[in-house]
Amino acid sequence: MMRVAVLGSTGSIGVSTLDVLARHPGHFEVAALAAASNHARLLEQCRSHRPRVAVLTDPVAAGRLESGLRAAGLATEVACGADALAEVAAATDVDAVMAAIVGAAGLPSTLAAARAGKRVLLANKESLVVGGELLLDAVRGGGATLIPIDSEHNAIFQCLPAGLEAGRAMRGVRRVLLTASGGPFLRSTRAELERVTPEQACAHPRWKMGRKISVDSATLMNKGLELIEACLLFGMEPAQVEVVVHPQSIVHSLVEYVDGSILAQLGNPDMRTPIAHALGWPERIASGVESLDLVAAARLDFEAPDIGRFPALRLAREAAESGGTSPTVVNAANEVAVAAFLAGTLGFSRIPEVVEAVLDRHGCEPVTGLDVVLEADSWARGYAESLLVGEARSRA
């Protein structure tokens, strides 16, 4: 029986994870659930899965969850805060951790799980983008197993030979190709991008995701962060990672070998596939996903991304090439800019402009410890926010 902690359980990845776990009651046990503030959904999840502990980072929400659990007669303990997340991730009664907390906030608990030697199911790409070698060192030092959940990186993982060690290049691999759906604005003009609303940006044509990652997909920053993640996960140079737009989202990524062979992983666009793969690895377990009908799919299209209309991808590649604290800065600035866009105070096309302004101002430093990462993250957020404040004043 594998005991699983689902961090970010109320989000789309968390919900899909619980769906897969529920299909295999004899093989998995939900040991812990964690979320930011959605106490109502977390209460319902506790009713269904009866975890030992439930964590909310928001103290008011934690109080409401505790009241709801007591009223329901459930014995689930309630904990609150970032420290509680890290404690759950490292707990002795947890074997595997689904790291699905959105943004850089997921890094401390992911590090804790890695240091404790857990099977880390990495759905929070920002942990690796921000933490970089720190996370990989924690995986190696703790004897953890790191399995990527992003459909693209999980596809690459499946296409690589057995024996992959996180962060180490595999012999015989020439390059990897990350596929991108292109998002909802693949054919939009620059003028149309200027008028994009949050509702439009969050309406992804293929995937059901949270609002932040949906916006990242629309700007192609999500693919940029995945490029950085792929370099770190698979020991690749940025030049060895190519992004190709594939609107059907059926080929999830490809690996090219030095003999000219290209292996691809295909499937319906449903996150339960990589989740089930990571939970069952090295075996295969049912995910609940329908079989892919290639005849019905009819065609598979591929094209190069338009960096002119979607400069976020260029910025992420530049950060990957610079290394050090640059990926941390890009991620932090992007989180601030996306939040402003979702709040209606920043235009869609301005998101990468804010990121570029912050990256241009940043003096890249080597990552020698977590303090360096946190300082770079804090500086980037502060500078991005100052740019937004300056814009607001100029409009007033």
- What domains are defined for the chain? 2-148 (3.40.50.720), 169-268+291-317 (no CATH), 323-396 (1.10.1740.10)
pLDDT tens by residue, the chain, 396 residues: 999 999 999 999 999 999 999 999 999 999 999 999 999 999 999 999 999 999 999 999 999 999 999 999 999 999 999 999 999 999 999 999 999 998 778 899 999 999 999 999 999 888 889 888 899 999 999 999 999 999 999 999 999 988 788 878 889 999 999 999 998 999 999 999 999 999 999 987 777 778 898 999 999 999 999 999 999 999 999 999 999 999 999 999 999 999 999 999 999 999 999 999 999 999 999 999 999 999 999 899 999 999 999 999 999 999 999 999 999 999 999 999 999 999 999 999 999 999 999 999 999 999 988 899 999 999 999 999 999 987 766 665
Handedness of CA 228, 234, 240, 241 (dihedral sign): negative
Distance from C-alpha of 85 to C-alpha of 258, rounded to nearest angstrom: 43
Cβ pair 356, 304 in contact under 8 A: no
- 248 and 297 in contact (C-beta within 8 Å)? yes
Supply the pTM of this predicted model: 0.92
Beta bridge partners of 265: 253
CA distance 43 to 69: 7
16 three-class SS: helix
